[in-house]
Amino acid sequence: MPGTFTHEFATELYNGTVTVNTGLFINGQFVDSVDRESIDVISPVDGSVITKVSIGNARDIDIAVKAARAAFKSSWGLKVPGSERGKLLYKLADLLEKNADAVAAIEALDAGKPFVYAKGQDVQDAIDNLRYFAGWADKNHGQTIETAEAKFAYTRHEPIGTVAGIVPWNFPLYITIWKIAPALATGNTIVLKPSEMTPLSALKLAELAKEAGFPDGVLNVVTGYGAVAGQALTEHPLVGKVSFTGSTTIGRKVMETAAKTNLKRVTLELGGNSPTLIFDDANLEQTVKWVCWIIFHNCGQMCAAGARILVQEGIYDKFLQAFTDAAESLKQGDSFKATTQQGPLVSKTQLDRVLGYIESGKQEGARIVTGGSHIEGPGYFVKPTIFVDVKPDMKIVREEIFGPVAVVFKFKTEEEAIEAANDTDYGLSSYVFTENVSRAIRVSNAIEAGSCFINEAILMRPQVPFGGYKQSGYGKDMSEYALEAYTQVKAVHVNLSLKL
Neighbours of 361 (CB within 10 A): 24
Active site residue 303: yes
Catalytic site residue from 269, 292, 400, 452:
269
- As a whole number of angstroms, the distance between CA 388 and CA 409 comes to 7
All domains of the chain in start order, with CATH: 4-270+474-489 (3.40.605.10), 275-461 (3.40.309.10)
Catalytic site residue from 196, 292, 299, 303:
303
Segment (H or E) for 50:
strand 49-54
Active site residue 269: yes
Segment (H or E) for 173:
helix 172-185
- Average pLDDT score over residue span 384-408: 97
DSSP state at residue 78: G
Burial label for 285, CB within 10 Å (0-12, 13-18, 19+), is exposed
- Average pLDDT score over residue span 84-99: 98
The Cα diameter of the chain in Å comes to 83
211-236 pLDDT, tens digit per residue, is 999 999 999 999 999 999 999 999 99
pLDDT of residue 1: 59
Instruction: Read off φ and ψ for residue 194, nearest 5 degrees.
Output: -75, 165
Query: Are the C-beta atoms of residues 50 and 31 closer than 8 Å to each other?
Result: no
| 411: Cβ contacts below 8 Å, ≥ 6 apart | 310, 311, 312, 313, 417, 420
26-45 pLDDT, tens digit per residue, is 999 999 999 999 999 999 99
Please choose, from the candidates 101, 102, 112, the residue with its C-alpha nearest in 3D space to the C-alpha of residue 42. Answer: 112
Alpha helices in 16-144 (DSSP H): 58-75, 82-98, 100-111, 115-117, 124-136
pTM of the model: 0.95
264-289 pLDDT, tens digit per residue, is 999 999 999 999 999 999 999 999 99
